[in-house]
Structures are given as structure tokens and as C-alpha cells.
Structure 1
Amino acid sequence: MMSVTETDIPAVPVPATQRGASVARRIWRIALASNEFRFGAAIFIVLVLAALLYPELSGIDPTKMSVATRLHAPPFMGEKWSWTAPLGTDQIGRDMLVRSLVGLRYSLLIGLSTVLVMLIIGCSLGTIAGYYGGRVDMVIMRLTDAQLSIPMIILAITVLGVSRPTIPAIILVLGLSSWPVYARVTRSVVMTERKREYVRAAEIYGASDFRIMVRLLAPLVLPPIIFVSVLDVARMMIFESILGFIGLGVQPPTPTFGNIIADGRKYLLNAWWIATMPGVFLCLCLTSINLMGASLERARNRIYGGKS
């Protein structure tokens, strides 16, 4: 009798309406047609390009001090000052535009990396729980409940308060404290799809559990979480700024939104731009991400017959 290996297994026919990758592409196309998404994406792209290119092209060191140029106001305030510092300088003469853009780099890096950690942990555990069920599901869900009972900011303050708050540590702490939502969403999708015919057909053909989870079930999770993950990038950027503001984020002299604003709060009366300019960049970035996330959510609701 001829044995059948996984490489001999033909593609299992899955209806187009049930294929996660196909639905994700449809959501993306509908969102791209939205002026709101395009506007948000345009702002986001400009900010990212500015953060990546301007500090390098300008040649200005964001940590270089210059007492002679300290507390110079931005040129648009009518001060007799060079446009080499378009957003002014801080209390020790550092260029605020460069510092704000470098801070944007770190904020985006931490936000995107944290969401990636959340996706990997949450989707993996949720898929395993939904596929196997029983005791495995019970253990993972009780772990999820325990994690949800601990406020994220409290956990982050506790862990980072007793350890050095490096960038990898911040990403790991925020990611480990926020994965349960992805686990629950993934579990509900997998539990529904687990009983369908194409999964049973794959089992009959001899596909392993890992292959079924990765090739058939994992793509179906994309539509429910695609807009949630986009909005979570903005949420993680806010939490990173909060941690930096209270001294538990990336430590100076590395500029981040949180520690720049914290330094500038002492000068709000006579040098308001120190704390305001990073806040403006943060608000613009968060607004652009929220516009894209909202457009993706409406596109998803439109496909699934919800309200747009």
C-alpha cells in the first residue's frame, strides 16, 4: 500500500469567503479607496521618512550641547534666530526638530515591535487553545484571565522599576502584558473553523496539526485582528511615552517623546516649545495611525455585513 506524505497532499479547497488572506486583501483594497486612509497614510509616510532621513542628512547630533544657543525660540515666533533650528533649541542648546524626529524613531520602533511580540504570543497560544480544546484550552485561558487581571501600566512600572529600562526590556514587558486580547480573538476564530470540512479533509489526507494550524487556520485570523493591531501600535506608543515621562522609559541622553516632554515641563512658561514640539509629532503620528485603523475597521465591517 502506497504511503502518503505531507508533500503529496494536494491543496485543500477552501471557499474564497473563508480564506483569511483573500479577505485581508479585500479589506486592504477597500481601505485604500478611502480618502481617510490615504490622508492618514500620507501623514504617516511623511513622518517616517522625516524621522529616518532628516537627522542623518542634517548632520546634527541630537545629544550635542551648546550653551551659546540654549533656549532659542523657533523662527516662526519672530525671533532673530537662524533657520538651522526650525523648532528652536532646548535648555542646553540641543536642536528640537532633530530630537523630536529621533524620538519618533524610537517610539515607532517600540510600538511596532511590541505589537509584533503581542501577535506572535497571542496568536500562537490562541491557535493552540482553539485547535486542541479541552485541558490545553482551559490552561491557556486561565493564564489569559490571570494576565488580564494585572493592569498593563502597573506591570510595566513594577518590572522596569527593578530592572534597567532598555529598549528590548520595554518591548518585552509591553508585549507580554498585552497579548491576551489577541489570544482570545484567535481562539474564537479557530474554534469555529476547527469543525469545518476542509480541516477534516486535511486531517484525512494526513496533514500534521502544525501544518493545519499554520497553513489553514492562522490566515483566517488576519481579518479580525488587522485593524486591532494597527490601533495597538498607537496605544503602545502612548504607553512608551508615559513610561519615558515618569523616568522608566529609554534613558537619557537618548531622546524619546517621554523624556523630552519631562525635561521641558520645567520650562513651560518661558520655553513652551521644548515640551510642545514632541507632543505635536506624537499627536500627528497617532492621528495618522488612528485614521488608517478606523478605515480598516470600516472596510472589515463592510465585508462582513456590519455597519460602515
Structure 2
Amino acid sequence: MASADTFAPAPTRAQSRSIAARIWRLALSSVEFRIGLVVFVVLLLAALLYPEISGIDPTKMSIRDKMTPPVFLGEGWTWAHPLGTDQLGRDMLARSLVGLRYSILIGLTTTVLMLMVGALIGLVAGYYGKSIDTVLMRLTDAQLSIPMIILAITILGVSRPTIPSIILVLGLAGWPVYARVMRSTIMAERKKEYVRGAMVLGATDLRIMFTLLLPLVLPPMAFVAVLDVARMMIFEAVLGFLGLGVQPPTPTFGNIIADGRKYLLNAWWIATMPGVFLFLTLTSINLMGASLERARNSIYGGA
């Protein structure tokens, strides 16, 4: 039997953390990442703090103040509603920021769920191979054949949409991509000497998968997953626009824009303001995600 000394040593958790730190530092050195990070942090803090500090209820109606224009239009405006009000007199700044709060929550949570489910399925399929891999990959192919938005509309259309149900539906619809990436990575890692050495030393399959392989390959996937946060925020807004997102009176980007489309001619800011916040948030996330992906490719390409 071969000695354990003949095998390459396993990458340690410290080495995995070092790789993640290198990716982070390299991304942070880019101007695009810093701009995206600053914009995202400002928007996140505003979404978390402004509705609470201002004391403005985003669902409170005031017919007397309906369709008040934003301050920059220069006529009929008031500092009490700097971005104007909607057709029911509700403050647009507070509503947009609360909508941003829910959008980020759903985007982040959904992406984490997709990553967890996909990573687990890909890990098992890539490590065991053979019949287990065949079954799991056929399941993945079947899931990939159904467009995410069609699946979400079908399920949410026959049930009352809530935040947990939206997260669950989008998360369970988006995991196949992560499963395929994880599977291919694990299949390559499984052939390396440190895995063979762990097998020779008597390590169980679970120990190899969850203490050697998963900590090594998950951080790079998590960095790439940042881009999916923006994608999930778009899906959430689309579902809200179609009436299948979080239901009123809770404000979300989708249902605010859907309500405002009727007033584009005489109160265009109702639909435009949440769109501006969504655009800024998506742009900041895409800047960070693209920088992280370039940093990851640079490190692994030069390895």
C-alpha cells in the first residue's frame, strides 16, 4: 500500500481563506469595485435607516398631497416629500427605499439558497459519479429545461405570494447552474493526490467532501454568485410588476412601477423613481461582481 507521504498534502482551510482574501484584495484594487461598493453601501444604509429615522409610513395615504412632484421640478413641490408622492399621496422616497430593502433581501437570500442547494447536489454528483451522478444530472437537466420565470409564475400564480414563498421558488428554480459548476470542479479535484491520500488514511466520504473539497471550491463560487444577486432582484421586480410578487400595501419595486405606469403622462416620477433606485443598485452589484470574477479568473488562471 502506498504511504501517505507519497501524496501531495491537502490544501488547508487557511490556504483556502488565503485564496479568498487574495481575490478580495485584487478586486478591491479596481476602481469599478470601489465605486460599486460605495454606491451599494450608501443605498443599503439609506434603505435600512431612512424609513425608520424619518418616521414616514410608506403606506400612509394623503389624498390632499397626491401626485406632489419631486423637488427638482421646481413647481408645487415640498421638502416633506423630496421625491414626490404617488396617486394616493404616499411618499415616493420612503416607498422606494422600503422597496429596495425587500429587493436586496430577496436577492441575497435567494442567491444563498441557490448556491447551497446547487453546491450540495453538485458535490454529491461529482464525488460519487456513476449512477448517482447520472440521476442527479438528469434531474438538473430537467430543471434547466424549464425557464425560471415560467416556473415562478406557474407556482406563485396558484398560491398567495409571500416573501418566503418567492425566495423558495426562485431559489429552487436557479440551483442547476451551481450544481453543474460544482460537479465539474469536484470531479477534477477528486482525482488529485491529496484526496487519494485522505482515502488511504481512512477518511470517510463525508469528511473528504465537507472538510477537504467543499471549503476549497465554495469560496470562488460564492464570489461569482454576487452577479446572481442582481439577477434575482430583477426577477423579483418582474414578479411584482405582474402582480405575483410581495402583495400591496407592502411596497416593492415591481408593484410601485405597475401602479405608476397608468400615470406616466402627468406623474411620471411614480414609476421612474423606483426604477432609478433599481438601476443604481443593479449597476453597483454588477460592478462588484464583475471585478470579483475578473480577480478570481486572474488568480486561478495564473495558478
Specify the TM-score bucket, using the shorter chain as the normaliser: over 0.9
Please, what is the CA RMSD of the aligned residues? 1.7
Contact kept, 8 Å, 2:43 with 2:281, in 1: the verdict is yes
Corresponding letter in the other structure for 1:57: I
Corresponding letter in the other structure for 1:26: R
Task: Tell me whether 1:191 sits opposite 2:187 in the alignment.
Answer: yes
Q: TM-score, normalised by structure 1?
A: 0.92
- Range 50-59 or range 195-204, more displaced: 195-204
Q: Residues 244-263 of structure 1 correspond to what in structure 2 (within 5 A)?
A: 244-263=240-259
Secondary structure of the equivalent of 1:255? coil
Give the equivalent residue in structure 1 for 2:118: 122
Task: Tell me whether 1:230 sits opposite 2:241 in the alignment.
Answer: no
Q: Deviations over 1:63-121 (max 9, x none)?
A: 00001100000111102432111100000000000000000010001000100110110
Quote how far apart the aligned CAs of 1:224 are. 4.3
Distance 1:192 1:63 in 2: 53
Question: Out of 146, 154, 159, which is 1:158 matched to?
Answer: 154
Contact kept, 8 Å, 2:224 with 2:292, in 1: the verdict is no
Secondary structure of the equivalent of 1:177? helix
Quote how far apart the aligned CAs of 1:51 are. 0.2
Give the equivalent residue in structure 2 for 1:100: 96
Moved over 3 A (4+): 18-21
Quote how far apart the aligned CAs of 1:23 are. 2.0
Gaps of 5+ in 1: 1-11
Q: Deviations over 1:262-303 (max 9, x none)?
A: 000000000000000000000000000000011011111211
Give the equivalent residue in structure 2 for 1:290: 286
Gaps of 5+ in 2: 1-7
Question: Out of 45, 52, 58, which is 1:49 matched to?
Answer: 45
- Range 197-206 or range 115-124, more displaced: 197-206
Secondary structure of the equivalent of 2:87? coil
Question: Out of 186, 193, 196, which is 1:200 matched to?
Answer: 196
Question: Out of 122, 128, 131, which is 1:132 matched to?
Answer: 128
Contact kept, 8 Å, 2:96 with 2:273, in 1: the verdict is yes
Corresponding letter in the other structure for 2:49: L
Q: Residues 42-81 of structure 1 correspond to what in structure 2 (within 5 A)?
A: 42-81=38-77
Question: Out of 224, 230, 237, which is 1:241 matched to?
Answer: 237
Contact kept, 8 Å, 1:226 with 1:296, in 2: the verdict is no
Task: Tell me whether 1:177 sits opposite 2:173 in the alignment.
Answer: yes
Contact kept, 8 Å, 1:227 with 1:294, in 2: the verdict is no
Q: TM-score, normalised by structure 2?
A: 0.94
Distance 2:257 2:54 in 1: 23
Q: Deviations over 1:125-150 (max 9, x none)?
A: 00000111111100000000000000
Quote how far apart the aligned CAs of 1:216 are. 0.8
Give the equivalent residue in structure 1 for 2:211: 215
Corresponding letter in the other structure for 1:56: E
Quote how far apart the aligned CAs of 1:222 are. 3.0
Secondary structure of the equivalent of 2:132? helix
Distance 2:40 2:222 in 1: 17
Quote how far apart the aligned CAs of 1:206 are. 2.5
Quote how far apart the aligned CAs of 1:179 are. 0.2
Secondary structure of the equivalent of 1:270? coil
Distance 2:89 2:76 in 1: 16
Give the equivalent residue in structure 1 for 2:5: none
Q: Deviations over 1:27-83 (max 9, x none)?
A: 111001111101000000000000000000000101000011000001111024321
Q: Identity of aligned pairs, percent?
A: 73
Contact kept, 8 Å, 1:245 with 1:262, in 2: the verdict is yes
Distance 2:130 2:202 in 1: 22
Give the equivalent residue in structure 2 for 1:5: none
Q: How many residues align?
A: 295
Q: Deviations over 1:197-245 (max 9, x none)?
A: 1112222222221121111111222354234310000000000000000
Distance 2:292 2:219 in 1: 9
Task: Tell me whether 1:167 sits opposite 2:163 in the alignment.
Answer: yes
- Range 73-82 or range 26-35, more displaced: 73-82
Corresponding letter in the other structure for 2:60: K
